[in-house]
Structure 1
Amino acid sequence: MDGSGIRIFGSLRKMGALNLTAAFAQLMSCLLLMAPPFYDCSSVPQVLQPLRASFAEGSLAILTCTVQEGAIHNYNILWFQTKPSRPPANILRHGKDGNISRIQGFTERFQAIRVPRNNSHLLQIQGVQTDDSAIYWCMVESGNFSNATCGNGTRLSVFGGRAVMKPSVTLLTSDQDPSTPLFYILCLVNNFYPGVLEVTWKINGHATTREATTASLWDNEAYYNLGSLLELPNSIWRDSPSISCEVRHDSSNSVISKSLLECNGF
């Protein structure tokens, strides 16, 4: 996500500028906090989205958004798309009155469907393309964004396309000097496409809850590069026989793991 802010692509028909600004403000809260933007959980609907979805290029992709409180027909549903190093893009709004408004650039390949029996909403992408790979966010609100909330987003990976590129992974370390308090490990992920990819740091085979700084770049509109930096107290790396960076890229059906045991310091 580009921290410099949000640009609005195109104009949303049948939706005022004030409401559109509010929608993006709410989405920004969801993206930054990965949680509903209000603390009073009783006042907002709980929204569930699958973590991942994979579909073959050219097929019908179906993304699901389920509401746990209230009836799905009592909410306006908005879908957003985020790609690395790009601001979020609003795809469409499915009003509780049944009207569907699409942003310019998103054609009728993107269809919105309510499913009352499951209290859910579907975003269908017809003839899905490799470039449709992205994180898709569902926002639910009952009116004027007074109680809007988002799901945690679904990572859509499209496989089988000619443009797909499997990533290469390199692990680099800072000087392994026991006298310094901190130790740094850099996981470089290069030349992959599309840009939906997950990096997990593991210590002794278990995913670490420590924060890692991750940044992605898109070079020449052909492939992505990504770097993830893990900072550890010196005592942890000295006492841990295995520290690794695991990279998952579903479009190329790749899971690549690089261990610190294989790495020489730079």
Structure 2
Amino acid sequence: MRCDYPYLAFTESGVSLAPDINFLPKVPSQFHLNLEVCLPTFFPNPSSDEERRLHSLDVRRALLFYLKRSKAFRRDQQLFVSYTSPRLGSRISSQRFSKWLTETIKTCYLLAKRPLPGPVRGHSTRAMATSVAFLKGVSLADVCGAFQPVPVQPPQASFPEGATAVLPCRLEQGHIQDYHVLWFRQQPAERPAHVLKHRLDGQIERTSGFDERFAPVRDAAANSYLLHVQELRTEDSATYWCMAEIDSFSVAVSGAGTQLSVTGGESTREPAKVILLSDAAAHLSESPDLHALCLAEQFYPGFVEITWSMSGNTVVEGVTPGEVILNDDGSYSASSVLTIPRQLLGKNASLKCSVHHYSSGSKAERSLKLC
């Protein structure tokens, strides 16, 4: 979720939240990709103590209050940002958000002077929601849907232009003969697109723009779905998701996606520029944090890996990946920001960013000395 318009919009009657263009839900149908969450104001005109108490739970009111409190230190358009050093104002990880969620649940039980029902985890909210639905009379079959499959995909794959890419999607639970499979593709800086649906009866339903080069296969021996992309083109470089589905999305679970990089194409371009910038100058030394920006410009296709190291040691904490940007000439640019407390810097420390462009195989490094 983001805090800028049109992803977050306030009206007199409530608030609406739209998914980030780069977000892929577990059910990546056109409906869910464009699903906007609209929350009406809770007791907008309270006239009693009880209504005023309930109005304090209004999401619109809470979001406005949160944005006002975080405005002074916010450094990212993601809705939820860190409120403590050294990551003050930066986007939080999913693990951090899960911790906030569990701490909130524990606090609610504490304030209500009620014992915790058991260990609290990030998914406890979903567990509680399904339990309440069941207690309200929703059938167990509707609550549970059915036995859910677990699609597993390799994170990356690389094939030369003109070859046939084989992208596997293995089910760790369930059987491939029990589910339809849908394939989706997302190119950098674009929305996900539906490629095809391979039905249980063998029928293939392709979306316009995806021809017979995209061929689905079922491998019963490996309990896997396969997507063959034949006569590969450089523009086929993208992330491909599989999704096992049955009964009009009553059960629909997607894999984590495979990033396909096509190599050796004539249109492949390594980054024209790699730039490293930092606020390590002496006149900024009073700042508690050091900030560095690594920028890779004008490459094609749009997959690069930007990594950081400090005095030869890999750095992962404090790294904020930037969005991949599609340039007017069809090339891409990408960035990464490093925020690190100055107190962690040793004498004569050196900082380096490394850029690896998958399709061209090019690697570039930029370094600077931190005096």
TM-score, scaled relative to structure 2: 0.58
Match of 1:58 among 162, 168, 180: 162
Instruction: Work out the CA distance in 2 between the residues paired with 1:22 and 1:83.
Output: 19
Letter in 2 for 1:217: I
Q: Distance in 2 between matches of 1:148 and 1:246?
A: 38
Identify the match of residue 174 of structure 1 among 279, 296, 305.
279
SS of alignment partner, residue 127 of structure 1: coil
1:157 aligns with 2:261: yes
Equivalent residue for 1:243?
351
The alpha-carbon deviation at position 153 of structure 1 amounts to: 1.4
| Contact residue 46 and residue 67 of structure 1 kept, 8 A | yes
Residue 219 of structure 1, CA deviation: 1.7
Q: Which residue of 2 aligns with 1:225?
A: 333
Quote the Cα distance in structure 2 between the aligned partners of 1:151 and 1:25: 19
Equivalent residues, number: 243
Gaps of 5+ in 2: 1-6, 8-18, 23-27, 36-92, 96-122, 128-143
Within 2, Cα distance between the matches of 1:154 and 1:77? 15
Per the alignment, residue 303 of structure 2 pairs with: 196
CA distance 1:78–1:25, shift in 2 (3 Å): farther
Q: CA deviation at 1:240?
A: 8.8
Structure 2 matches for 1:86-235, cutoff 5 A?
86-167=190-271, 168-176=273-281, 177-203=284-310, 204-235=312-343
Cα offset, 1:253, TM superposition: 1.1
- Opposite residue 115 of structure 1, the aligned amino acid is D
SS in 2 for 1:107: coil
Give the Cα separation in 2 of the matches to 1:240 and 1:44.
Answer: 54
Instruction: Give unmatched runs, 5+ long, in structure 1.
Output: 7-18, 27-31
Where 2:349 maps in the other structure, the secondary structure is coil
Shift in alpha-carbon separation, 1:4–1:213, aligned structure 2, 3 A: same
Q: Tell me the CA shift for residue 113 of structure 1.
A: 0.4
Q: 1:22, 1:145 within 8 Å by CA — same for their partners in 2?
A: no
Query: Which structure ranks higher in relative contact order (CA pairs < 8 Å, sequence separation ≥ 6)?
Result: 1
1:74 has 2:182 as partner: no
How far apart are 1:209 and its partner, in Å? 4.0
In the alignment, the residues of structure 1 paired with residue 229 and residue 309 of structure 2 have an alpha-carbon distance, to the nearest angstrom, of 35
Contact 1:82–1:135 under 8 Å retained in 2 = yes
Equivalent-residue separation in structure 2 for 1:205 and 1:47 (angstroms):
35
CA distance in structure 2 between the aligned counterparts of 1:239 and 1:108, rounded to whole angstroms: 60
The separation in 1 between residues aligned to 2:315 and 2:201, in whole angstroms, is 45
Between structures 1 and 2, the one with greater strand share: 1
Name the amino acid aligned to 2:269: M
Distance in 1 (alpha carbons) for counterparts of 2:203 and 2:215 = 12
- Contact 1:183/1:237 (8 A) holds in 2: no
Deviation per residue, 1:148-171 (Å, 9 max, x gap): 222221111111111111113211
Report the TM-score, using the length of structure 1 for normalisation. 0.79
Report the 3-state secondary structure (helix = DSSP H, G, I; strand = E; otherwise coil) of the residue aligned with 2:324. Answer: strand
Q: In terms of mean alpha carbon deviation, does 215-224 or 98-107 score higher? A: 215-224
